[in-house]
Amino acid sequence: MRAVAAMLLHTGSRHRRPRSGSPRSQEPDTLPSVPAFPIHLVNRQTEESTLRIALVIERFVPGAGGVENVAWQVAHELARQGETVTVIARETDPSSPLPVVPIFAPPAWQPTRLLLFSRGAARATQASPGYDVVHSFSHTRHQDLFRAGGGTQIDHLRRNFEGTARHLRTLSPRYRVRLAVERNVFQNSTQRIQCASRLVADSLARDHQVSEDRIFLLPNAVDASAFEGDDLDREAQTLRARLAPDPGPVWLFPGSGWHRKGLATALDAIAQCPVQETHLWIAGRDAIAPWKKRAQALGISTRVRFLGERKDLPAVYRAADGMILPTRYDAFANVTLEAAAAGRPIITTASNGASEWLGKDVHVVRSAEDVEGCASAMAELNDPVRARSVGEALASRARAFSWSAHVGRLREEYEGILERRKAAAA
């Protein structure tokens, strides 16, 4: 496995044309030991030259997942703010007006796909006329800014698995290849690391000895306008009447990967909540049968509804009374910002990096197993007056996390990368 990984990951020297005469930075090519909506583009009204940005993402497709949505929003907002953006991807959506460099990587087996995409992306940036900044949202080795959006493999394994299950995961080719790529990036002092939460930044320091001066801390963003408005409220009222005709508060559990996100705790909390008519909606993709069986055993099957994957999540948030996500590990659960933008109370854990950013109005329980804490928080927030007060405060906070502000910070980071490169050359 190590020999295959080393062969596929080798790509040669750096990828971009230096700006303002600065020399190319060199990266080591040795592989670490492996145990391991519609948007209208406009030009920026200024005389200064735009940045030439290569944005690397395996799937440049809106709605495909958390990182894909972030990359889509960032790419188009960068272009809207006047930068020159080229996307490097293996799969794209033709609705985007941005130029795309396609990379071939067979989708069948993830380790091979990841390695071939990393090599192809490096060759694409090296062969281009030149980029000022290469910003990667995927597991690739060669870039100026690496977004550790899902946290690290080591921390993910530590927080989600124990005993034999953890050991077996360390032996899987998927884990070993992703860990090898991460180690190569984290050991390369020329690369900056973007983290959406202090939760991830601390794990980088603890597990990979990444120095604080390499960390770029930037929370994710949300389009708050998509979660408010009279039309949305009418849609939500219709949805609530159809899905929950009986009286009683409704809590929403959104997202896929229900074991990791703490659905067992959410179900137990519903069963223990002092307000006996409390309901739970579950939106997302997973195997339903074992969770239905658990709800039946708890005697709450009539108060639990599985909604499946939804394209109308803004209305679902507004139709519910609050969101619960007792997750074992989320570097930054985007649903947290979405629920806040919808003005809904939130119950989550400190293992959700997004909980760091919304202040005291987010109810943070001790752990993903804190059933009593979740049930108590539900009882408190089932009070309409209290829920309204908390929801309004969260909605106000969420408006600060706009995509425009997010990309503004990114552009400052790109300029900082260029300045540090110039300083190193001098």
Q: Note the pLDDT tens digit of each residue in 110-136.
A: 889 999 999 999 999 987 768 999 999
Going from N- to C-terminal start, the domains of the chain cover: 2-221+403-425, 224-398
CA distances from 203 to 186, 198, 383, 384 (A): 12, 8, 37, 38
User: What is residue 408's predicted lDDT score, i.e. its pLDDT?
Assistant: 97
Q: Supply the pLDDT for residue 196.
A: 96
Looking at the structure, give the CATH architecture of the domain made up of residues 224-398: 3-Layer(aba) Sandwich (3.40)
Intervals of the chain under pLDDT 70: 1-49, 64, 129
Asked if 2-221+403-425 and 224-398 have one fold, the answer is yes
Alpha-carbon torsion angle 222, 374, 309, 387, nearest 10: -50
By the 8 A CB rule, do 169 and 175 touch? yes
Percent of the chain scoring above 70 in pLDDT: 88
Write down the pLDDT at residue 48: 58
Contacts of 352 (CB under 8 A, 6+ apart): 325, 327, 330, 332, 333, 336
CATH number of 2-221+403-425: 3.40.50.2000
321 Rama class: left (phi>0) / alpha (psi -120 to 50) / beta: alpha
Q: For residue 129, what pLDDT is reported?
A: 65
Instruction: Look at residue 164 in the predicted model and tell me its pLDDT.
Output: 85
What is the per-residue pLDDT for 64?
62
